[in-house]
Structure 1
Amino acid sequence: MARTTGSHAGITGPKVRKAALRLFAQRGYAAVSMRAIAAEVGVQAGALYNYTPDKQTLLFELMCGHMEDLLASMPQGQGAPLARLEGFVDFHIRFHADRPDAVFIAYMELRNLNPENFATIEALRRRYEDALEAILQEGATAGAFGVKDTKIVTLAIIAMLTGVNTWFRQSGRLTLDEVVAQYWDMVRKSVGVA
């Protein structure tokens, strides 16, 4: 099939991913057809297969890209566990605030991945969780944190921080700095630091 007039691989490929990200976040993966993505991009449905072999691969690549960006951007903090935990909270909220669609898909569309793709994304998520848990374990061992089960606290903190994306708006009553400060206060207290 011929390429649509005005279509260029370096331009259309990113448009396909951007349209899929937006549509998956708005409607849900199962409700979005390749035809709908093509219409959003302005190409024929068959042209999408120049950029992705199928919808599953497109979803996986979006999720994988998000997790790889997250891991690559995560601060590799040095210093006391409390300072590193504060850095983690700050980073998590700010990184995700700029990517609400990617965050929604990364958490809500796991159920639509095939087993192999799910295992890959789960391993990436585990690396991120392990980084936070290492901070909590170090703080607990040093007596700086009052944490009994670092795994549960890790998952609770990540769930709480990721929840910011469901309600935060730049035009809302709180600035991002104020949100980060309030969430840091809650996380600090959750690990037993007054």
Structure 2
Amino acid sequence: MDAALRCASFEERRDRALALFAEKGFGQVSMRELASHLGLTAGALYHHFPSKQDLLYDLIEEVYEELLATLNQGRRVHQQTLTEVIAAHWALHAERPLQFRLAKRDLCCLTPDQQVRIGQLRQQYEASLLRLIVPKSTLRGQALAATAHVIANLLNCLPSWLQASQLPQAQGLALMESMLMGGIERTLRGESLNTMV
């Protein structure tokens, strides 16, 4: 079998593993069941991934690498607008809904070292996101870090919620944009925090 065919076969099996994890839950799938579902022996599966956690880590890591690439790609071409950032997140969620579900639901199933590495990727993503959309925020310190965390969570939860609502795509995206832009602009000007003091 040539390299291209092996690679395509591996990607197909990886997608099937992703679907099984998303359907049943990572913790409910044994290595034997996974191998059987993929049409492999357990030994052949172990050849590619030493453990289920390594496969899960690979799938979750890919999500954060894609998120970072989306932000960094826009920075190379031009300064992305918040509208473009929102649209890029919407499109990525539409393309990889199962991976986002795993990243949210099954992160706790990773080893502690893997969780730390994913946490580092998430921090890089949040810092890049903040630099991109709010380069001149009046917020500082913990308030700014909390803002980045909330914005990242909204950007990565709203698409799933709205895409599941059966709204037409354009209407769902417009609703997401409206929700995020209004809240972000007000918060980053510091209005919410200043009025609470």
Note whether the superposition's TM-score is higher than 0.5.
yes
TM-score normalised to structure 1 length:
0.78
Amino acid at match of 1:181: A
Query: Per-residue displacement from partner, 1:98-135 (whole Å, max 9, x unpaired)?
Result: 11110011122111111111111111111111112223
**Maintained 8 Å contact 2:89/2:155:** yes
Match of 2:143 in 1: 149
Query: Per-residue displacement from partner, 1:57-110 (whole Å, max 9, x unpaired)?
Result: 11111111222222223343344xxx6222211111211121111001112211
Match of 1:66 in 2: 63
Match of 1:15 in 2: 12
Query: Per-residue displacement from partner, 1:129-178 (whole Å, max 9, x unpaired)?
Result: 1112223542425xxx9xx9332222222222222214514x92321x32
Please point out which of 49, 73, 76 is paired with 2:74.
76
**Maintained 8 Å contact 2:57/2:110:** yes
TM-score normalised to structure 2 length:
0.77
Match of 1:130 in 2: 127
**Maintained 8 Å contact 2:17/2:38:** no
Amino acid at match of 1:132: L
Amino acid at match of 1:185: S
Q: Map 1:1-194 to 2 at 5 A.
A: 9-74=6-71, 75-77=73-75, 78-79=78-79, 84-141=81-138, 149-163=143-157, 164-169=159-164, 172-175=166-169, 177-190=170-183, 191-192=185-186
Structure 2 CA distance for aligned equivalents of residues 14 and 97 of structure 1: 19
Match of 2:192 in 1: none
**Pairwise CA RMSD of aligned residues?**
2.5
Amino acid at match of 2:160: N
**Maintained 8 Å contact 1:136/1:150:** no
Amino acid at match of 2:146: I
Higher helix share: 2
Structure 1 CA distance for aligned equivalents of residues 82 and 29 of structure 2: 38
**Maintained 8 Å contact 2:68/2:128:** no
Give aligned-pair identity as a percent.
28
Q: Which runs of 5+ in 1 are unaligned?
A: 1-7
Higher mean displacement: 40-49 or 132-141: 132-141
Structure 2 CA distance for aligned equivalents of residues 39 and 70 of structure 1: 32
Structure 2 CA distance for aligned equivalents of residues 136 and 47 of structure 1: 45
Hey, which bits of structure 1, 4+ residues long, moved more than 4 A? Answer: none
Aligned length: 176
Structure 1 CA distance for aligned equivalents of residues 143 and 178 of structure 2: 20
**Maintained 8 Å contact 2:57/2:114:** yes
Structure 2 CA distance for aligned equivalents of residues 137 and 71 of structure 1: 16
Q: Which runs of 5+ in 2 are unaligned?
A: 190-197
Amino acid at match of 2:32: R
Structure 2 CA distance for aligned equivalents of residues 112 and 41 of structure 1: 21
Structure 1 CA distance for aligned equivalents of residues 98 and 51 of structure 2: 20
Structure 2 CA distance for aligned equivalents of residues 36 and 57 of structure 1: 16
**Maintained 8 Å contact 1:15/1:41:** no
